[in-house]
């Protein structure tokens, strides 16, 4: 196999579909949808793949807005993960509109150059921002035969091996007793006071936790009216760390803030923890292949900057079970924080679309490396098993 010629052809196929990929990305950007509600985005991507001649199984893994498409047969199996959900209030401020579309472009390009070398798979993954969609797809078996899972994430700088934190969500409810806030306050138990006392303890805790870990959240219910002692107050918190053992310790300390507040105020505390989003394990051999391919396309990939910490992603759950890749590619040349209105705006600009096409090519070329080099698959699995 003339590897360079195959990669050149795959890149040309991405470019040939460039205008349609741009339209798809901008259409998804214009209609942001939250976790598990991505009906337009998932349908738009799946419809396009079907128009390009590959059947798509929708509702994959029992999730309405998930889908899967396969081309080729046998091993190895390389999966491109497409994300397309948005954030409340700020839309596509994580750039999933370009990421999901890039995965489609990479899949179609590799499909068209694949010559009996294995199976290429496109997995439409809902609910990355909230809901752990990939964890559900893992349980449903969509990654069971996968040898390499590939995607990139949009950002404001390039980074080959970002530190993505393990995450667990905590839902807090304080329950008290309603009463007239002016006439008979002594008859009530103030759930909001209980919640705020716990929140104050949490703020103090945040000053003394490890610098690579995070605790943050929002109050989702502060009562119904100012003249009623609140009988219910609620909050949603996120607890993050790159260290799973320390994450366990933090869970206990965070919950302890609210347990103590409940006792102090006479409230009843109710809580629930989500499933854990695992930290991303960047697979070294796959990362090296991606870096070489991106560099050949004019995009050198720097490694993680010291003390850099990013968010969390359910791609971490995938990386715990199969060799995986999750680099960051900048969609803007300006320092623009993710999850901001400015980043959402950047995700629809020409620079983001250009990065989408480059990302699709680099992912496609990395998949071609996997198909052409059995030793790369072996090294990837060896590193995965050692790291896991």
158 and 170 fall within a common domain: no
Domain boundary among 273, 294, 310: 273
* One domain, residues 306 and 317: yes
Q: Tens digits of per-residue pLDDT, 327-340?
A: 999 999 999 999 99
Q: State the pLDDT at residue 219.
A: 98
Would you say how long the chain is, in residues?
Answer: 388
Residue 310 has pLDDT above 90, yes or no: no
Same domain flag for 248 and 354: no
Tell me the sheet residues that pair with 78.
120, 148
Note whether 197 and 325 are same-domain residues.
no
The pLDDT-based confidence of 98 (bands split at 50, 70, 90) is very high
- Looking at the structure, tell me whether residues 67 and 125 fall in a common domain: yes
Q: Where are the alpha helices (DSSP H) in 207-310?
A: 244-265, 284-296
Name the pLDDT band for 1 (thresholds 50, 70, 90): confident
Query: How far, in Å, are 87, 233, 332 from residue 90 at the CA level?
Result: 6, 25, 17
Q: What's the CATH code of the domain at 195?
A: 3.30.70.360
Q: How far apart are CA 214 and CA 190, in angstroms?
A: 28
From 192-201, 330-339, 352-361, the region with the lowest mean pLDDT: 330-339
The pLDDT of 56-72, averaged and rounded, is 98
Are 131 and 148 members of one domain? yes
Same domain, 304 and 243: no
pLDDT at 328: 97
CATH number of the domain at 27, please: 3.40.630.10
Backbone angles phi and psi of 270, in degrees to 5: -125, 140
Q: Structural domain of residue 174, as residue ranges? A: 166-273
Residue 173 has pLDDT above 90, yes or no: yes
For the entire predicted model, the pTM comes to: 0.93
Strands, DSSP E only, in the chain? 57-58, 67-72, 77-83, 119-125, 148-150, 153-155, 166-175, 214-221, 232-241, 268-273, 324-325, 328-330
pLDDT on residue 59: 98
SS (HEC) of 177-196: ECCECCCCHHHCECHHHHHH
* pLDDT number for residue 10: 98
Residues 148 and 178 in one domain: no
Q: Is the confidence at residue 307, as pLDDT, over 80?
A: no
Q: Which of 256, 273, 290 is the last residue of a domain?
A: 273
Round to whole Å and give the CA distance between 98 and 65.
Answer: 17
Q: Does 183 lie in the same domain as 68?
A: no
For residue 68, give both structure tokens.
Answer: 């899967």
Residue 174 and residue 144 in one domain: no
- C-beta of residue 11 within 8 angstroms of C-beta of residue 361: yes
Residue 329's DSSP bridge partners are: 154
Whether 388 shows a pLDDT value over 90: the answer reads no
The domain boundary residue, chosen from 246, 273, 300: 273
Confidence category of residue 305, pLDDT binned at 50, 70, 90: confident
Could you tell me the pLDDT band of residue 117, with boundaries at 50, 70 and 90?
confident
Domain match, 190 and 158 both? no
Q: What is the number of structural domains in the chain? A: 2
Buried b (16+ CB within 10 A) or exposed e, 258-282: beebbeebebebebeebebbbbbbb
Q: Same domain for 251 and 115?
A: no
């Amino acid at each position: 196999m003339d590897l360079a010629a195959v990669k050149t052809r795959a890149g040309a196929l991405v470019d040939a579909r460039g205008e349609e990929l741009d339209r798809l990305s901008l259409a998804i950007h214009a209609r942001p949808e939250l976790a598990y509600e991505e009906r337009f985005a998932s349908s738009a991507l799946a419809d396009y793949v079907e128009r390009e001649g590959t059947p798509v199984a929708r509702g994959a893994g029992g999730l309405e807005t998930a889908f899967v498409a396969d081309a080729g047969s046998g091993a190895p199996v390389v999966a491109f993960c497409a994300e397309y959900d948005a954030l409340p209030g700020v839309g596509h401020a994580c750039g999933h509109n370009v990421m999901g579309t890039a995965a489609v472009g990479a899949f179609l390009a590799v499909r068209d150059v694949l010559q009996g070398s294995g199976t290429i798979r496109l997995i439409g993954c809902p609910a990355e921002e909230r809901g752990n969609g990939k964890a559900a797809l893992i349980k449903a078996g969509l990654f069971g035969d996968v040898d390499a899972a590939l995607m990139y994430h949009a950002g404001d700088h390039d980074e080959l091996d970002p530190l993505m934190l393990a995450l667990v969500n905590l839902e807090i409810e304080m329950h008290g007793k309603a009463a007239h806030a002016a006439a008979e306050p002594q008859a009530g138990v103030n759930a909001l006071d209980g919640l705020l006392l716990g929140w104050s303890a949490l703020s103090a805790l945040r000053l003394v936790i490890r610098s690579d870990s995070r605790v943050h959240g929002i109050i989702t219910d502060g009562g119904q009216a100012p003249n009623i002692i609140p009988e219910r107050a609620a909050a949603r918190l996120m607890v993050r760390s790159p260290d799973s053992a320390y994450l366990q310790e933090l869970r206990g300390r965070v919950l302890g803030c609210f347990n103590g507040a409940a006792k102090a105020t006479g409230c009843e505390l109710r809580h629930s923890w989500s499933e854990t989003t695992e930290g991303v394990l960047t697979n070294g051999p796959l990362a090296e292949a991606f870096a070489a391919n991106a560099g050949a396309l004019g995009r050198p990939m720097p490694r993680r900057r010291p003390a850099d910490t990013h968010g969390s992603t359910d791609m971490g759950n995938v990386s715990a079970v199969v060799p995986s890749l999750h680099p960051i590619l900048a969609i803007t040349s300006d320092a623009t924080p993710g999850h901001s209105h400015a980043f959402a705006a950047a995700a629809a600009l020409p620079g983001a679309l250009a990065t989408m096409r480059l990302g699709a090519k680099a992912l496609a070329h990395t998949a071609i490396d996997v198909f052409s080099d059995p030793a790369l698959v072996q090294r990837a699995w060896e590193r995965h098993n050692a790291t896991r």
